[in-house]
Amino acid sequence: MKKIGDYVCKHKWLILVLTLLLLIPSIYGYVKTKINYDILVYLPSDIETLKGENILTNDFNMGAFSVSIVENMNDKDLIELENEIREIDTVTNVVTINDITGTTIPIEILPTSVLDKCAKDNTKLMLITFSESTSNDKTLDAVTKIREITEDKVNVGGMSAMVLDTKELFNSEMLLYVVIAVILCIIVLMIALDNYLVPLLLIANIGIAIIFNMGTNIFLGDISYITKAIAAVLQLGVTTDFSIFLYHKYEKAKQIKKNKEEAMSLAINDTLVSVFGSSLTTIAGFLALCTMNLTLGKDIGIVMAKGVLIGVICVITLFPALLLVFDKVLEKTKHKELLPKFKKVKDFTIKYHKAIFVVFIILLIPAYLAQSKTSVYYKLDESIPDDYGYSIATHELKEKYNMVSQEMLLLDANMSNDTQEMLVNDIKELDGIDFVLSPTLLSKYGIYEDIIPKDIQKMYKTDKYKLVIIGSDYDIATDELNKQIDSLNEIVKRYDKNAIVAGEGPLMSDLVEITDKDFHNVTYASIAVIFILMMIVLKSISLPILLVTAIEFAIFINMGIPYFTSTSIPFIASIVIGTIQLGATIDYAILMTTKYLEERKNGKSKKESVSIALEDSIQSIFVSAMCFFGATIGVGIVSKIDMIGSLCTLIGRGAIISMFVVILIVPSILLIFDKLITKTTWGFKKGMINNEE
C-alpha cells in the first residue's frame, strides 16, 4: 500500500488536472441522467397488475388518464375546451357525459344515481386519456399545458398530476437540500478541526466525489427522485469521517517525518488500512438493498455503494493532493481546537458500564416491539402538500363525487352483456363499492352503442377486451381496499379466468405485499453480509454478533420513536432505514473495537484497552455522527415532500442514536464480554486472555 501513497504524493498535480478533466463528463452525466418521479414503475414487471397497465396502454391507447373537474362552464364553452385539450400532444381523448349521450339526449333524463357520478353543482367530470405512461415526460408536459390553457376552470387529478407536482416540488427544493447540508457540515467541521481552510477543502473533495457519483448514474439509464435527493447528503455524511481520519493522520505524521510528502504517504497508507474494513461493510450494507423485489432498492443501493467507493478513492487521491498543494496556506489558517476531549463521558461509561448494560438489556425488547408497531403509510399522495394542484383536485373529487379510488376491470370482449350484467351486480354487492360503470350496459338507460361516437367506443371496447370502471369508497393502500381488491379478483375470475383488475388501487395493493416481504429480506441480507465481513475484518466470531446487536438496538429505537409520537412513516423508510443506519454507522463500532483489540493484544487489561479505545475514537465518532446528522436533518426539516423529509429525519436521528449506543453501550459490551471475545477472536495468546483487569 506504500506504493499508492508514494504515487499520489509524487503525482499530486496530475491528480488535480485529471480531476478537473473528469468533472466535464461527470457534470454532463449529472445533468443528462433521467430522474424518475413514479415509484410504481419499480414494481416487478411480471405481476398481473402491470400486465393490465400494458393492455390499457397498447390496446386502449390509454397509457395514463386523468379524472378532472370542470367548473361553471356551459356546453358550448365545454366543447371548445375539449377540442383545445385534444390538440395537445399525447392526449388521445377527452370525454364528459355530454360526449356519451350526444346532442340528442339531454343528460337530465339520466337516473340521479348515474348523473350524480358525472355532473353535479355546476361541475362536470372530465376524463382525459394519454397515449404515454403516467410518468412519461410527454404526459407530464401535456398535464402542464392542460393546466395552462384551463387556468382555474379545470382541476386536473390523476397519477400524472401527482407525479408532475412531485417533480416540480422536488426541483424547487433540491438546491436547498445541498446548501443546507454543506453549511451544517462546515459548521461542524470548523468546530471539530483545528483549521479554517481544511473544512472547505474537505467539502470540495466530497463535493467532487458526489459529482463523479451522480454523473456516472447516466450508465444506469435513470434514477428515482428519492435516490437523487438522499444520495448527495448520504455520501457527504458517510464519507466525511474518512477525510477527517486522513487529515489527523497527516498532522501526526508530519511530526515524525522529514517532509510533507513522506508524511502524507504514511497517512494515506494508514488511512487505507483503517477505512478498508469499515468502508467495505458500508458498501455491503447498501448493496443489500439490491435484494428488494421493488427495484427502487437496487436504485438506491447501487448509487450509494458506488458513492462510498468513489468517496474512498477521492479521500486517498484528491484530498491528499489538495492538502499538499495548500500546505503552506494550511499552516497560516490554524486555530485552537474547539472540540472537547469528552473525558467525563469516557469516565462515566467505564465507571457505570454494568448499569448501562442493564439498561440496554431492559430496553432491547420494548424497542423491538415499538418499531414493529410503527405505523407505515403507502399512499404516495401524502407526500404532496395540500395547496398543490393534485391535492386540490383529489380533495374536490372526494368531496363532490365521492371519488376516492378507481379500478379498471379488463374483460374478454366476447363476454355477453347478460353475463357482464351478472358480474356487475355481484361486484355491486361488495362492501365499499360506490359505482360500477360499464358503457356497454348503458342501453337500459336508452343509450345504445350505435349512437355513441366511435372514438368514445374505442375507449372502453377493443377486439380483445371490454373495460369496466369501478369506484370504491375506500382509500388507496388501506387494508379495506386491499381486501376489497382480493374479493373483486375472486368474483371476476369466476366469470372470466383471464380477466385483470388494474389501476392505482391494485398497483398499491401489490406494492404493500411486495414491500412487506422486502422488509424482511433486506434486513436479513444486510445483517448476514455485514456479519460475514465483520468476521473477516475483526477475525472474530463473537464480536460481529455483539456489535450488530448494539447497532440493531439503535435502529429499533430510531424506528420505534414514531410509534410513541403517533407518527406514520413512508413505506420506503421502513425498508431502507435499517440497512442505511446499519451500513453507515457500523464503522463507528468497528473503529472503537479495532483499537480495543489492538491494545488488548499488546497486553493491556480489558479496562485499559476499552478506556484507550474510547478515548482514541470518541472525537472521531462524535464528528462523524454530527456531520451525518447535519447533512440530513436540515433536509428533513425543510423538505415539503414528506417521503424525503421523513427519510432524512430518520437517517439523521439514527446517526445520533448510533453515536450514543457506540459511545455508551459498545464499551460496556466489550468490558462485560471481554473473556468471550478474547477466546473467540484470532490472535490472542493465553496470557492476554487471563489479563482481565
Could you tell me the domains of the chain? 1-32+193-338 (1.20.1640.10), 48-163+391-502 (no CATH), 342-373+504-693 (1.20.1640.10)
Over residues 261-285, the mean pLDDT reads: 87
6-64 pLDDT per residue, tens: 899 999 999 999 999 999 999 999 999 999 998 888 999 889 999 998 898 888 888 89
Going from the C-alpha of 564 to that of each of 280, 380, 678, the distances in angstroms are 35, 23, 39
Output the pLDDT for position 110: 67
CA quadruple 510, 512, 517, 518: dihedral positive or negative?
A: positive
Spatial separation of the C-alpha atoms in residues 461 and 188, rounded to whole Å: 63
Q: Please classify residue 522 by burial: count the beta carbons closer than 10 Å to its beta carbon, then call 0-12 exposed, 13-18 middle and 19+ buried.
A: buried
Distance of CA 16 to the CA centre of its chain: 33
Which single residue is written with the C-alpha cell 428488494? 292
Q: How confident is the model at residue 449 (pLDDT cuts 50, 70, 90)?
A: low
Q: Please classify residue 634 by burial: count the beta carbons closer than 10 Å to its beta carbon, then call 0-12 exposed, 13-18 middle and 19+ buried.
A: buried
Output the pLDDT for position 435: 85
Spatial separation of the C-alpha atoms in residues 467 and 495, rounded to whole Å: 15
Over residues 376-397, the mean pLDDT reads: 86
Which of 478, 575, 488, 479 is CA-nearest to residue 523?
A: 575
Whether 117 and 439 have beta carbons less than 8 Å apart is answered as no
- Partners of 66 in the β-ladder: 128
Share of the chain above pLDDT 70, in %: 94
Counting every residue, how long is the chain? Answer: 693
Which single residue is written with the C-alpha cell 463523479? 212
Over residues 607-630, the mean pLDDT reads: 90
Whether 519 and 575 have beta carbons less than 8 Å apart is answered as yes
Residue type for position 555? I
To which H or E segment does residue 435 belong?
Answer: strand 433-437
Spatial separation of the C-alpha atoms in residues 297 and 331, rounded to whole Å: 45
Output the pLDDT for position 227: 93
Q: Please classify residue 438 by burial: count the beta carbons closer than 10 Å to its beta carbon, then call 0-12 exposed, 13-18 middle and 19+ buried.
A: buried
> Which distant-in-sequence residues (6+ apart) come within 8 Å of 543 by Cβ?
534, 593, 677, 680, 681
Whether 672 and 360 have beta carbons less than 8 Å apart is answered as no
Output the pLDDT for position 379: 81
| End-to-end CA, the chain | 37
For residues 334 and 21, the model is more confident at 21
545-563 pLDDT per residue, tens: 999 999 999 999 999 999 9
636-693 pLDDT per residue, tens: 999 988 889 999 999 999 999 999 999 999 999 999 999 999 999 998 766 555 555 5
Which single residue is written with the C-alpha cell 379500478? 407
Output the pLDDT for position 339: 86
Spatial separation of the C-alpha atoms in residues 556 and 553, rounded to whole Å: 5
Q: Is 410 left (phi over 0), alpha (psi -120 to 50) or beta?
A: beta
Per DSSP bridges, beta strands 34-36 and 222-224 are parallel
Over residues 570-588, the mean pLDDT reads: 84
- Partners of 36 in the β-ladder: 224
Whether 187 and 169 have beta carbons less than 8 Å apart is answered as no
Could you list the beta-strand ranges (E) of 166-255: 222-224
Which of 376, 348, 406, 315 is CA-nearest to residue 56?
A: 406
> Which distant-in-sequence residues (6+ apart) come within 8 Å of 131 by Cβ?
57, 61, 62, 63, 90, 91, 92
Q: How confident is the model at residue 628 (pLDDT cuts 50, 70, 90)?
A: confident
Which of 168, 157, 161 is CA-nearest to residue 140?
A: 161
Share of the chain above pLDDT 90, in %: 50
Give, as one character, the DSSP assignment of residue 503: S
Going from the C-alpha of 513 to that of each of 270, 383, 485, 500, 520, the distances in angstroms are 47, 21, 13, 18, 12
